[in-house]
Amino acid sequence: MKRTRIALLLVVPVFAGMVLAQRLPAVASSAPQAQPAQPPPTIASMLDRQISMIEKQITEAAEAMPEDKFNFSPESLKIPGDDYKGVRTFALQVKHVAASNYALWSPLTGDKCPEDYLGGNGPKNLKSKAEILKFLNDSFALGHKAAATLTVENMLQNPEQWKWSRLHLATFAVEHAFNHYGQMVEYLRMNGIVPPASRAKSD
């Protein structure tokens, strides 16, 4: 009887080890796989993210305004005591952002900024909502191209014929766009339109 007990005491741990060994591969295979390491952030990637943020907000705001309201200006509301005389229409706000993007980012990429993009309001021949949105989208595409040129070594250098550094031009374009996004938001709300960025997820 004692021998039987001793034998059992020896067999049970071995059997348990065999079972555990068989189960270990299954447990290991169910463990979450390690995610590949993300590349460290760079000046270019950080700026590109900022451009993407304002690009999304401005583009969605521009798309939200109906085409028949694209020439809306607060001046038309004739609010007592207002001072909206001569302010840009919604369309001109969008075109101004796009034209400024080209003016500020083209020195970084080496692209020539067309003469009719200068002067603040962009080409006069762009009238329809579709034309203006394409102008806007193309300007942000240039922004991503400009961001990709920035490095730690060149970001403080001044492009030819500019007194501002490459980094200043790149970031000022983003800052400028955010400024006009705020104005576009007001134009939308004056027409009873909630800006897409302010809508609930369920809307």
Domains and CATH numbers, the chain: 43-198 (1.20.120.450)
Query: Is pLDDT at 161 greater than 90 in this prediction?
Result: no
CB atoms within 10 A of CB 176: 17
Residue 173 CA to residue 163 CA, distance in Å, equals 15
Count CA atoms within 13 Å of residue 65 on its CB side.
32
* DSSP string of 152-173, one letter each residue: TTTTTSPPTT-SS-HHHHHHHH
Residue 40 CA to residue 172 CA, distance in Å, equals 24
Mean pLDDT of 72-91: 91
Query: Is pLDDT at 32 greater than 70 in this prediction?
Result: no
What distance, in Å, lies between the first and last C-alpha atoms of the chain? 77
pLDDT interval class at 185 (50, 70, 90): very high
